[in-house]
Chains A and B, each alone.
Chain A
């Protein structure tokens, strides 16, 4: 039989009962978990579950998503205590004893229900000089980039970040030090340190090596464990530590 026909015989979804889903409800620091019974489907992501609740059970539930395919980084939440990109997290993979608990991302203030306030997360990107400073103007010819160069390869290895803040929520150093710039901002800074077209290397190293900078990282690698794009911010931060030591001046900063 043709493969497409065989697939057509399978029902797209099969209903096999319901599951208990606890969802955090509240604003700011005040709130509590509320339980919902959600139909179990064969193929179902955590974002599907949240959307079902909002569409079928309680339209006041607040949450955030955009692309639903793991590109935009807006749907991250805590699922059974772990930070996850919910649009690409299958219920089957994370259900614990048949139940699911969904809460807003850790280490960030809550706006309402499942929507965390990302302001400080993005402010820290800017603080870490996660901003490109061009060394040329638009009048200059486009600079050829050597993709084989060591610097470019280090930048490329860290570049696929979708700003989801999963690593930020996973990091205990962020929990214990609210000034800590966090894995995502530092990972971004590392890509720019290695970008030959950028002109602000010194300024950036200074921005990432003061209080709350790369030296606040304890290298325990939660960021790497949870990053949905399998990036390794710990390695990027180690790179920043090395560079800052290389550029250390005992009389200046």
Chain B
């Protein structure tokens, strides 16, 4: 259920996620250790193009990766195929994108 394009996107999104996840975890630890309050965090992220790009890219990579990964699992486990399988993949992609981008918007919009 993977053609070369989906395989390639799966690999590229994984490669993007690897450094982004590490940065994200390091950031969480730093924020918690440093005792930053939610307000302090927001004051740094709001209006920041850099954080918008960082987490925007993160959400994009996760959405693509998860949609393709779940596509394979759903096909192999439940035998979903054809149009239904494509529809499922698109729904997962769009749902993750919308939910993720909303969260990004919430922390960077000023």
Contact B4 A244 (CB under 8 A): yes
Tell me, yes or no, whether B1 is within 8 Å of chain A by CB: yes
Judge whether A225 is part of the interface by a CB distance below 8 angstroms: no
Q: In the complex, which residues of chain B have a beta carbon less than 8 angstroms from the beta carbon of A211?
A: 1-3
Asked whether A245 and B8 contact (CB < 8 A) given A176-B77, A177-B76, the answer is yes
The answer to whether the Cβ of B27 comes within 8 Å of any Cβ in the partner chain is: no
B77 contacts A215, C-beta separation under 8 Å = no
Q: Is B30 an interface residue (CB 8 A)?
A: no
Q: Do A248 and B2 touch (CB < 8 A)?
A: no
Residue on B nearest A247 in the bound complex, by CB? B4
| Interface of chain B residues 1 through 41 with chain A (CB within 8 A) | 1-8, 11
Residues in A with CB closer than 8 Å to B1 are 177, 211, 216
Between B3, B8, B75, the greatest number of chain A beta carbons within 10 A of the residue's beta carbon is seen for B3
A114 to chain B, nearest CB (A): 28
User: Distance (Å) between the CB of A123 and the closest chain B CB?
Assistant: 20
Please indicate the chain A residues that have their CB under 8 angstroms from the CB of B77 in the complex.
176
Nearest CB in chain A to that of B73: its residue: A176
A110 → chain B closest CB, angstroms: 22
| Nearest A-chain residue to B11, judged by Cβ | A245
Partner of A177 from the list B4, B7, B8, B75 (CB cut-off 8 Å) is B75
**B-side contacts of A248, CB under 8 Å:** 4-5, 8
Interface string of A208-252 (1 = CB under 8 A from B): 011101011000000000000000000000000100110010100
Query: Which of the residues B4, B11, B75 comes within 8 Å of A209, measured between beta carbons?
Result: B4
Whole-angstrom distance between the Cβ of A82 and the nearest chain B Cβ: 22
Interface SS of chain B: helix
In the complex, the answer to whether B7 meets A245 with C-beta atoms within 8 Å is yes
Given A176-B76, A176-B77, A177-B75, CB of A216 within 8 Å of CB of B2: yes
Check: A7 CB closer than 8 A to any chain B CB. Answer: no
Q: What number of A residues sit within 8 Å (CB to CB) of B?
A: 15
Smallest CB separation, A153 vs chain B (Å): 25
User: B2 contacts which chain A residues (CB < 8 A)?
Assistant: 211, 215-216
- Closest-by-CB residue of B relative to A206 is B4
Query: What sequence of 0s and 1s flags, for each residue 193-217 of chain A, a beta carbon within 8 Å of any chain B beta carbon?
Result: 0000000000000000111010110
Q: Of A173, A176, A215, which is within 8 A of B3 by CB? A: A215
> Residue of B at shortest CB range from A173?
B76
In the complex, the answer to whether B76 meets A215 with C-beta atoms within 8 Å is: no
A215 contacts B75, C-beta separation under 8 Å: no
Task: Report B-chain residues with C-beta under 8 Å of the C-beta of A253.
Answer: 3-4
Smallest Cβ-Cβ distance to A176: which chain B residue: B76
Instruction: Tell me the A residues contacting B by CB distance below 8 Å.
Output: 173, 176-177, 209-211, 213, 215-216, 241, 244-245, 248, 250, 253
Since A209-B4, A215-B7, A245-B7 are in contact, a sample of 13 more A-B pairs with Cβ atoms closer than 8 Å, ordered by chain A residue number, is A173-B76, A176-B77, A177-B75, A211-B2, A213-B3, A215-B4, A215-B6, A216-B2, A248-B4, A248-B5, A250-B5, A253-B3, A253-B4
Query: 5 tightest CB-CB pairs across the interface, nearest first?
Result: A215-B2, A176-B76, A215-B7, A244-B4, A209-B4
